[in-house]
Chain A
Amino acid sequence: MRVKVLSRNPDDYIRETKQDLQRVPRNYDPALHPFEVPREYMRALNATKLERVFAKPFLASLDGHRDGVNCMAKHPQSLSTVLSGACDGEVKIWNLTKRECIRTLQAHEGFVRGICTRFCGTSFFTVGDDKTVKHWKMEGPGYGGEEEPLHTILGKTLYTGIDHHWKEAVFATCGHQVDIWDEQRNSPICSLTWGVDSISSVKFNPIETHLLGSCASDRNIVLYDMRQSTPLKKVILDMRTNTLCWNPMEAFIFTSANEDHNLYTFDMRFLESPVMVHMDHVSAVLDVDYSPTGKEFVSASFDKSIRIFPVDKGRSREVYHTKRMQHVITVKWTSDNKYILCGSDEMNIRLWKANASEKLGVLVPRERAAMNYNQKLKEKFQHHPQIKRIARHRHLPKPIYNQAKELRIMREARRRKYDSLFVFILS
């Protein structure tokens, strides 16, 4: 008779000293892990709930401006520097890590209409209500020195926006028409115009660097090619576009922020219909900026909130608002994909997290593994009704909530009317 009875040596299963790790033998046989689907579902539910618990996106408010913040610019080489221009002509340079202003200069008399940095990061340009374009050094003057621009260009008409080329020493301003300037010259190398009204903003394409897009007051978006010195294409919308932003990953995609509460993503090759219409704001959308991944963008609206939209979806995934934040004029997504800056009417620039429940800082490997696991679980069960309901839930301030409800009712009524009309016509 040969017999063997299962017997385990505890020394193989218990750690030797308190300094050792505990031994955790694994057996992945599914027979030992029953109810895998319901248990994973419960874990996904917990992960979704915890995501809402830890969703605290507001980080800091940069205080210092004495009038509303009108425009912002990112430093191309330094993640911790941001420039902002206010409605009283002041330009401030901020350090985001210390959350303080490191330099202030009185750039213009009147509004600072536009600010943009040069691609090398050594200087920046501003345009203002006093019809000037000023070129400044990024480094401040030494001790006791006066703030003096490197170069000032006096123009004949009002300038409303400025943007610098991504590779060459060329910048473009807009106002009455789109002017393309060389940094060394005092007059534009070419002027582009198509239409009779003023142009509110101009943006260079970061990938196809010779292309630019502009938004005019006669409700159109015009695309220009710098090599040909002619306008390329034009699309006319129902209401005026405030700004547009090019996708940093897709050369031909741009998103425009419109006055009719929507954002339109266009493919510049097929301008007759937008690729996507993003509808969630309840008031005019004033500014839009893409994330460096090119998958999402953030929009600032007159309705005192900022929303984050995925490029391929028509609805926002996130909304940030505060009681103290009034009409948001300008918004930027930082180049490390982690933070969002917004400048608003009440003289503050606010710093938010791009992922509201993300833990900042260095994560221990176990933390990171747990976060990745939770993320995957949420993705796997995202379509289950209970989980979708919790993941989607956001608190909205009363004015936005009521306005959104009203708009929904109006849309439903319109749809019902047109549906029955359509059925009547068909039958």
Chain B
Amino acid sequence: MIHHPFLFPCPPKKKMTKKLQRYWDGAPPPDTPADAPSKAKRRRNEKTRPRAGAEGSLQARKVLQVSEATGQISGVRLGTLGGWPWGEEGRLRWEDEGQGIARQRGVLLGFLEGDPGEDTCTIAQADIAEAADITSATKHFELTLNQFGPYRMDYTRHGRHLLLGGRRGHVAALDWQTKSLLCEINVMETVTDVTWLHTENMFAVAQRRWLYVYDNQGVELNCLKRFNGVLRMEFLPYHFLLATAVSVGGGGLSSCSLLCGTVTLWSPNVKEPLVRMLCHQGGVRAVAVDSSGTYMATSGLDRKLRIYDLRAYQALQSLVLPVGAGHLSFSQRGLLAAVYRDVPVQPPHKPYLSHTLPWTAHGLRFCPFEDVLGVGHGSGFTSLLVPGAGQANFDALENNPFRSRKQRQEWEVKALLEKIPSELITLDPGQLGQVDTITMEQKHQERVERLGFDPQAKPAFQPRRKLKGRSSAGSLLRRKKKVANEEQRVRPSLGQTWLCRPRALPRLWDSPGGPLQGISPLSITHSLGLTSWADPWSLQHPSFRL
């Protein structure tokens, strides 16, 4: 292993004086019809699409876009999905309830607001770094490592440590905030992917032949010879499983995209894929699942970026991009990053932020709990500032970026104790908490067959025999009719009255006459036909069960 000198990050860029002409501002109209390139005489445009090996040619620009598409979803659509606290109000409410530092709304949350008339997508990274505080400015840096090939990268779960893997064998692990290097090795073999394991003590490197596990000092711990030619890896932190394939995994399920445009969801227990979704006409280039496992973003060769709801397997949104995005990544707060080449076609949506890299991107990840997006590319690594991407309030018992060695040890033991076995990986993670009604009904049927009658069946209603002529045939029939068809009646159950909060009901005190005098909320609900056993205005927000 050859150690290479650590190259210093680039000095901060000078502010660009000339404003870049973005393709969505529209190309300048041609002066004469003759200037517009006609279809018959289309020649290769040397500037944008140079020939390979042409000297002095500009490389095709790769445009990095951070789209607010999901942000829109988070603001509008998700709020109506009932109970999901992803909407604007829900997000902030949960952050309020976290103890610790952010006691007011928005104290730590990042944001970016342009001047009136200025689009946020035109703001450059250097401007953001200059306007933000010093600590944040240090989070925007670039590592120029152009000797060892395009870099793949990974952040640890708590966002403190960064792992870089160059194609030609350079692997480096460092604490990217303090810029202190943990280890730097060259494995002398092609490296296809790198990933951290459960802590910053171990990482896995997918090399050309086999899969290796290293210590954070660069000591080789394990060589897994069964895994030949791994292209992509994903570590499942709650199951302590390493998924390897041509895959990008999320949650317990791994999704696999094929050339025919389908995305398949797999579980380690079943040989066949659990779900097959036809996402694109043509190949799928990138798949990303958000941190809660509810949304999936896919981009394909048909130049579309689609957002799907993974619970209902329905398409939510579809964007047209100039070219299919090669990499996608979700942040903790619902921002989606997409990487694609720059072509002079106008997309319908303006992204939130955008950045141009002169090299091809090979790895794209948001840093957890920080407003930072890391990009591994052909010439090293760039760290970009994306205000509003990271979760402000972490839970120290889950992922604590400031944990001490003792805390890390305790956390590791507890995490290993509650490791979820792979047999419990299913489409619905809450399945364990539900009653197995199918087995219950089966058992009941078997019992009925064995006994010959249904022991749980209620006997037919026999009205009591009354004296003084009240037991005549007609009155018996009348009494029987009162309880007839009881099973078919729909009664509001306990849970339903909670969820059907009278938000949609007309509020009687909004009338121009002012609040109705002398009527309490309880009596209003009486008149509107709700159950009267409780005061619905005083019910608490239903806590999350299971």
A residues at B contact (CB < 8 Å) = 1-8, 10, 12-14, 22-43, 46, 384, 419, 422-423, 426-427
Q: Once the chains bind, are A427 and B135 in contact (CB under 8 Å)?
A: no
Q: Does B136 contact A (CB under 8 A)?
A: yes
Q: Does B110 contact A (CB under 8 A)?
A: yes
Report the Cα distance A12→B392, complex, angstroms: 13
Q: Does B28 contact A (CB under 8 A)?
A: no
Residues of chain B contacted by A10 (CB below 8 angstroms)? 402
Our pick among A5, A37, A419 for the contact of B433 (Cβ within 8 Å) is A37
Q: Once the chains bind, are A37 and B546 in contact (CB under 8 Å)?
A: yes
Residue of B nearest to A426 (CB): B452
Given contacts A5-B110, A7-B136, 5 further A-B contacts (CB under 8 A): A6-B390, A31-B94, A35-B420, A38-B238, A40-B546
Q: Once the chains bind, are B98 and A39 in contact (CB under 8 Å)?
A: no
Q: Once the chains bind, are A26 and B100 in contact (CB under 8 Å)?
A: yes
Q: Do A6 and B94 contact each other (CB < 8 Å), given the known contacts A35-B252, A419-B450, A426-B452?
A: no
Q: Once the chains bind, are B450 and A23 in contact (CB under 8 Å)?
A: no
Closest chain-B Cβ to A120's Cβ sits at a distance in Å of: 50
B169-193 vs A, Cβ < 8 Å mask (1 yes, 0 no): 0000000000000000000000000
Q: Do A419 and B451 contact each other (CB < 8 Å), given the known contacts A6-B387, A28-B395?
A: yes
Residues of chain A contacted by B417 (CB below 8 angstroms)? 42-43, 46
Residues of chain A contacted by B131 (CB below 8 angstroms)? 1, 3
Report the Cα distance A35→B253, complex, angstroms: 12
Count B interface residues, CB 8 Å.
Answer: 70
Q: Once the chains bind, are B451 and A37 in contact (CB under 8 Å)?
A: no
Among A22, A23, A36, A37, find the residue whose CB has the most chain B CB atoms closer than 10 A.
A37
Report the Cα distance A419→B451, complex, angstroms: 7
Q: Once the chains bind, are B420 and A1 in contact (CB under 8 Å)?
A: no
Residue of B nearest to A31 (CB): B292
Residues of chain B contacted by A4 (CB below 8 angstroms)? 109-112, 132, 387
Q: Do A22 and B407 contact each other (CB < 8 Å), given the known contacts A6-B370, A27-B98?
A: yes
Residue of B nearest to A381 (CB): B432
Residues of chain B contacted by A22 (CB below 8 angstroms)? 404, 407
Q: Does B397 contact A (CB under 8 A)?
A: yes
Closest chain-A Cβ to B112's Cβ sits at a distance in Å of: 5
Q: Once the chains bind, are A43 and B433 in contact (CB under 8 Å)?
A: no
Report the Cα distance A221→B424, complex, angstroms: 54
Could you write out 18 A-B pairs with CB less than 8 Å apart?
A1-B123, A1-B131, A3-B111, A3-B123, A12-B101, A14-B402, A24-B397, A25-B395, A27-B100, A27-B395, A28-B94, A28-B97, A31-B291, A33-B398, A39-B238, A42-B419, A419-B450, A427-B452
In the complex, the 9 A-B pairs of residues with the closest C-beta atoms, listed nearest first:
A25-B100, A27-B98, A5-B136, A29-B94, A13-B402, A24-B396, A27-B395, A6-B371, A5-B132
Q: Do A26 and B429 contact each other (CB < 8 Å), given the known contacts A6-B371, A34-B238, A34-B251?
A: no
Our pick among B113, B390, B397 for the contact of A2 (Cβ within 8 Å) is B113
Q: Do A8 and B101 contact each other (CB < 8 Å), given the known contacts A27-B95, A38-B432?
A: yes
Q: Does B227 contact A (CB under 8 A)?
A: no
Residue of A nearest to B139 (CB): A5
Residues of chain B contacted by A38 (CB below 8 angstroms)? 238, 420, 424, 429, 432
Our pick among A33, A37, A426 for the contact of B430 (Cβ within 8 Å) is A37
Residues of chain A contacted by B27 (CB below 8 angstroms)? none
Q: Once the chains bind, are B387 and A3 in contact (CB under 8 Å)?
A: yes
Closest chain-A Cβ to B111's Cβ sits at a distance in Å of: 5
Q: Once the chains bind, are B113 and A1 in contact (CB under 8 Å)?
A: yes
Report the Cα distance A24→B115, complex, angstroms: 39
Interface residues of B in 284-334 (CB under 8 A from A): 291-293
- Chain B interface, >50% SS class: loop
Report the Cα distance A173→B114, complex, angstroms: 96
Q: Does B59 contact A (CB under 8 A)?
A: no
Report the Cα distance A201→B439, complex, angstroms: 49
Closest chain-B Cβ to A274's Cβ sits at a distance in Å of: 21
B446-464 vs A, Cβ < 8 Å mask (1 yes, 0 no): 0000111100000000000
Closest chain-B Cβ to A128's Cβ sits at a distance in Å of: 53
Residues of chain A contacted by B110 (CB below 8 angstroms)? 3-6
Residues of chain A contacted by B450 (CB below 8 angstroms)? 419
Q: Do A32 and B394 contact each other (CB < 8 Å), given the known contacts A3-B131, A7-B136, A12-B101?
A: yes
Residue of B nearest to A24 (CB): B396
Closest chain-B Cβ to A380's Cβ sits at a distance in Å of: 9
B122-138 vs A, Cβ < 8 Å mask (1 yes, 0 no): 01000110011101100
Report the Cα distance A332→B111, complex, angstroms: 70
Report the Cα distance A13→B108, complex, angstroms: 14
Closest chain-B Cβ to A28's Cβ sits at a distance in Å of: 6
Q: Once the chains bind, are A25 and B101 in contact (CB under 8 Å)?
A: yes
Closest chain-A Cβ to B19's Cβ sits at a distance in Å of: 14
Residues of chain B contacted by A25 (CB below 8 angstroms)? 98-101, 393-396
Q: Do A39 and B291 contact each other (CB < 8 Å), given the known contacts A1-B114, A6-B109, A426-B452?
A: no
Q: Once the chains bind, are B113 and A7 in contact (CB under 8 Å)?
A: no
Residue of A nearest to B404 (CB): A22
Residues of chain B contacted by A40 (CB below 8 angstroms)? 546
Residues of chain B contacted by A422 (CB below 8 angstroms)? 451-452
Residue of A nearest to B123 (CB): A1
Q: Does B248 contact A (CB under 8 A)?
A: no
Closest chain-B Cβ to A17's Cβ sits at a distance in Å of: 13
Residues of chain B contacted by A12 (CB below 8 angstroms)? 100-101
Q: Once the chains bind, are A42 and B418 in contact (CB under 8 Å)?
A: yes
Residue of B nearest to A39 (CB): B418
Q: Does B8 contact A (CB under 8 A)?
A: no
Residues of chain A contacted by B394 (CB below 8 angstroms)? 25, 27, 32
Q: Do A31 and B429 contact each other (CB < 8 Å), given the known contacts A23-B396, A25-B98?
A: no
Q: Once the chains bind, are B118 and A1 in contact (CB under 8 Å)?
A: yes
Residues of chain B contacted by A7 (CB below 8 angstroms)? 132-133, 135-136
Q: Once the chains bind, are B418 and A28 in contact (CB under 8 Å)?
A: no
Residues of chain B contacted by A39 (CB below 8 angstroms)? 238, 418, 420
Q: Does B375 contact A (CB under 8 A)?
A: no
Q: Once the chains bind, are B112 and A3 in contact (CB under 8 Å)?
A: yes
Residue of A nearest to B420 (CB): A38
Residue of B nearest to A15 (CB): B404
Report the Cα distance A43→B417, complex, angstroms: 8
Report the Cα distance A38→B370, complex, angstroms: 28
Q: Does B86 contact A (CB under 8 A)?
A: yes
Interface residues of B in 82-122 (CB under 8 A from A): 85-86, 94-95, 97-101, 108-115, 118
Q: Does B385 contact A (CB under 8 A)?
A: yes
Q: Once the chains bind, are B420 and A27 in contact (CB under 8 Å)?
A: no
Report the Cα distance A25→B431, complex, angstroms: 30
Report the Cα distance A26→B128, complex, angstroms: 30
Closest chain-B Cβ to A4's Cβ sits at a distance in Å of: 5
Q: Once the chains bind, are A37 and B432 in contact (CB under 8 Å)?
A: yes
Q: Does B544 contact A (CB under 8 A)?
A: yes
Closest chain-B Cβ to A119's Cβ sits at a distance in Å of: 47
Interface residues of B in 402-444 (CB under 8 A from A): 402, 404, 407, 417-421, 424, 429-433
Q: Do A32 and B395 contact each other (CB < 8 Å), given the known contacts A4-B387, A419-B450?
A: yes
Report the Cα distance A209→B292, complex, angstroms: 63
